[in-house]
Amino acid sequence: MELVKIKNNTYYIKNATNIGIYKIDNDVYLIDTGNDKDAGKKILKIVLNEGWNVKGIINTHSHADHIGGNKVIQDRTGCLIYASNIESCFIRNPILEPTVLYGAYPIKELQNKFLLAKESSVSNLTTIMGLEYIDLPGHSYDMIGVKTIDGVYFLADSLISKDTILKYHLFFLYDVRKYLETLQYLKTLKGTFVLSHAEITDDISELIKLNEDKIKEISEVIYNLCDNSTFESIIKGVFDKYNIVINTNQYFLLSSTIKAYLTYLHEENKITYEFKDNMMYYEKVSH
């Protein structure tokens, strides 16, 4: 981990999940806390070495790689943690994350640190001088970003990095339509941008287009697979198309994402479904 000053009172810690820091006098607010307690300990060490006090944590959303350090930092500093409404429920009750992916009490293989963080106490978002919250839904339920008075935007997972798109193609989405709307909103922003899993930049236009194009491509792939097809056959078709070698985490994360695409295509009146012989089949809508 490396502490980097961006501008004035705005910093970030370079990490697998980048961590935002906004300083007010000697107090700091963290934006996300990494993927586990070890990340939390390292973040806390960096902050304390600067002589700063952790005043609070703002979680952009509830995925484990963004809240994994919450508990150890909160336990050691007594700081408050803030998050939006639905995300707060998952942070307080992290078993909900693998539960939603699985659709019932999750198998033990899904109860791992990548999907199941330690629970922490969360408060409603509150006004903090010098910070502004922005809505960035789509990747998660009601994910937020944070803008500092220094013109720096912490955009969480509202944009997927070029390397990830080119390597994996398919990335987790909760709501495809909302994600596309968020991409349109991002086009209106000017400033310095810190993404959770990409390099800091002043220009996100190319990355926005890359995300849009990939969603359009995947939508078309899934649409073409809806040929009197079961969900399992559609999943296999997508995995085969992109040469995805699945494991337990990937299977449930990506099958959930494919369902999000099916919802989007259904809302667009491009596909429909029917039940035959006690099985559900997807089919293109005839126009």
Q: Which domain holds residue 236?
A: 217-284
* pLDDT of 109 over the 80 cut: yes
Provide the pLDDT for residue 104: 97
4-32 residue pLDDT tens: 999 999 999 999 999 999 999 999 999 99
| Residue 192, in any domain of the structure | no
In a domain, 195, yes or no: no
Hunting for tokens 């695409």 — which residue is that? 261
251/132 same-domain check: no
Co-location of 152 and 64 in the same domain:
yes
Residues in the chain: 287
10 Å Cβ neighbour count for 128?
17
- In the predicted structure, residue 187 carries a pLDDT above the cut 80: yes
Model pLDDT, residue 1 = 87
Q: Are residues 152 and 222 in the same domain?
A: no
Mean pLDDT, rounded, for 54-82: 97
Number of domains within the chain: 2
Give a yes or no: residue 204 inside a domain: no
What's the half-sphere exposure (Cβ side, CA atoms, 13 Å) at 254?
A: 23
pLDDT at 286: 81
Q: Do 152 and 224 fall within a single domain?
A: no
Residues 130 and 239 in one domain: no
Residues 154 and 47 both lie in one domain: yes
CATH of the domain at 26: 3.60.15.10
Mean pLDDT of the region 163-183 = 96
For residue range 111-161, list pLDDT tens digits in order: 999 999 999 999 999 999 999 999 999 999 999 999 999 999 999 999 999
Residue 183 domain-assigned?
Answer: no
> Do residue 130 and residue 25 come from a single domain?
yes
- Out of 140, 158, 176, a domain closes at 158
Residues 7 and 111 in one domain: yes
Q: pTM of the full predicted structure?
A: 0.95
Give Cα separations from 256 to 139, 159, 172, 235 (angstroms). Answer: 12, 19, 8, 10
Q: Are residues 13 and 135 both part of a single domain? A: yes
CATH number of the domain enclosing 279: 1.10.10.10
Domain end point (choices 130, 158, 186)? 158
Residues 45 and 132 in one domain: yes
Same domain for 150 and 252, yes or no, is: no
Residues 148 and 251 in one domain: no
Residue 261's closest CA among 197, 196, 217, 209? 217
pLDDT at 287 over 90: no
Choose one of 132, 158, 184: the last residue of a domain: 158
